[in-house]
Amino acid sequence: MRRTLLTLVAVTALVAGVYAAPRSRAASGRAEPGRFAGPGVTGYGDAGQFGGFGGAPLAAPAVGMAATPDGGGYWVAAADGGVFSYGNAAFHGSLGALRIYAPIVGMAATPDGGGYWLVAMDGGVFSFGDARFLGSLGAHPPEHSVVGMAAAPGGLGYWLVGSDGSVYPFGTAANLGSAAGQPLAAPIVGMAATRDGLGYWLVASDGGVFTYGDAGFFGSAANTNFGTWVNAMAATPDDQGYWLLAATGGILTFGDAPSEGPAPNNPPFSPAESMAATPDGRGYWEMRQDEASTNLSDPSPASAAFPAGADVVADAAGQVGPDADASQGSYCNPYGPCEEWCSLFAAWVWNQVGLGAPEDAFTGDLYNWAVANGTALSPTDRPEPGDGVFYGTGPQNASTSVHMGIVAQVWPDGAIDTIEGDSGPEPDGMYAVVLNGPFLPAESQAYNATPIYGYARP
């Protein structure tokens, strides 16, 4: 789940009514935990509510979902390969007990619902139930992250799609073209296939839609001001339309895709990561990553290089949820004064383990303090959980040091998850602590709209 840049305008008091109750400082000086209230998976239209992970602890962020062919259930996949089944979705196995090299980024179900595939960021594919393994990119990872997959008809093939628009067909999946090599305004974030397998759509984070084969073009959100970014898409059963899922949970409709809510201009503001459509096309589910109580334990945050990092991550994870109180003024938050507060949040987290960080709203000052008291890491170094991650081009001023967060997980392939305050997908401001990732630091410019200039370990 990507975050918005710190330079957006403060959210209005209306958002206070959309969020759950904001947090305040407890007597101990800690901020009281707040959560994005909800079940983790929410149905709209005729999509049944079969349960979800909301409030349950996950070892890694939820990253994808798929629905059963009759619409009577769904699966949710987490980045560590854990799979959770609801309704009539049968559990066919998971990777939760294994240690994988790259985080899972998506899943797809077989046509009969008797199995599913998981795809990792490096293009590795894992099959369960009657899902056949038909090849992967795991032995030769592509230059850019793999971001999703789609199943071919008959369950004898699948496509993988990369953030650069590359499409990788396996089995009976037809090679119908890709956006690789084209100048993209924003990275590709997902795909959907036509019923006959002779076409597919790609969607970019700016809402741009690219069509191949017999997939029809019914419009896109590119060059429109919808105030956030797109995380996923789904096609209607007759291939005459599609939905785009905004990060806020708002739905954008095209062609014959019906709008069952929430409206793009009045979404729930509970960050949405993935979606799946009902078989009759009159409903869909949204999967909301931050409604889980993610303890970020796989891969473990424990590190010999930064022993306090595990406690830093635990304190940061306990704060994920709606936070700032817009009714009290712009950027009011429980970690410091009413001002841009990503570094105030990070300092608060570090101070819970006694690191003595200054409460300074300028991220560059916190970077310089951490470097003076600890260790500076370059953007190409491997960080440790608990480190600060700093976005921009350097610590010199507010134009070069634009945002920061706390590194929460580091995957063997180098991908990271972060926890960031003064952040979130809402279109008018940043009033939450959110999970961000997994993403490769080298791709931060595309993924976060700003590069990483360094890490710091106080």
- Do 102 and 122 meet the contact criterion of CB atoms below 8 Å apart? yes
If you average pLDDT over residues 84-91, what whole number do you get?
98
pTM (2 d.p.): 0.93
If you average pLDDT over residues 271-292, what whole number do you get?
95
pLDDT, mean over the chain: 90
pLDDT at res. 177: 98
Residue type (1 letter), 255: G
pLDDT at res. 439: 98
If you average pLDDT over residues 325-340, what whole number do you get?
82
- Strand pairing report for 57-58 and 293-294: parallel
pLDDT at res. 65: 98
Beta-carbon contacts of 304 under 8 Å, excluding residues fewer than 6 positions away, are: none
Kindly tell me if the per-residue pLDDT of 265 is higher than 90: no
- CA atoms within a 13 Å half-sphere pointing along the CA-CB vector of 457: 22
Q: For 404-457, how does the pLDDT look when each residue is reduced to its tens digit (9 = 90+)? A: 999 999 999 999 999 999 988 765 445 789 999 999 999 999 999 999 999 999
- Do 284 and 47 meet the contact criterion of CB atoms below 8 Å apart? yes
Question: Cα(367)–Cα(375) distance, rounded to whole angstroms?
Answer: 10
Q: pLDDT grade, residue 160 (50/70/90)? A: very high
pLDDT at res. 247: 93
Kindly tell me if the per-residue pLDDT of 15 is higher than 70: no
Kindly tell me if the per-residue pLDDT of 32 is higher than 80: no
Identify the residue with better confidence: 49 or 226.
49
Kindly tell me if the per-residue pLDDT of 3 is higher than 70: no
Residue 171 neighbours by CB distance under 10 Å: 16
Q: pLDDT grade, residue 271 (50/70/90)? A: confident
pLDDT at res. 9: 26
For residue 223, the SS3 value is coil
Phi, psi at 375, each rounded to 5°: -130, 135
Percent of the chain surpassing pLDDT 70: 90
pLDDT at res. 454: 98
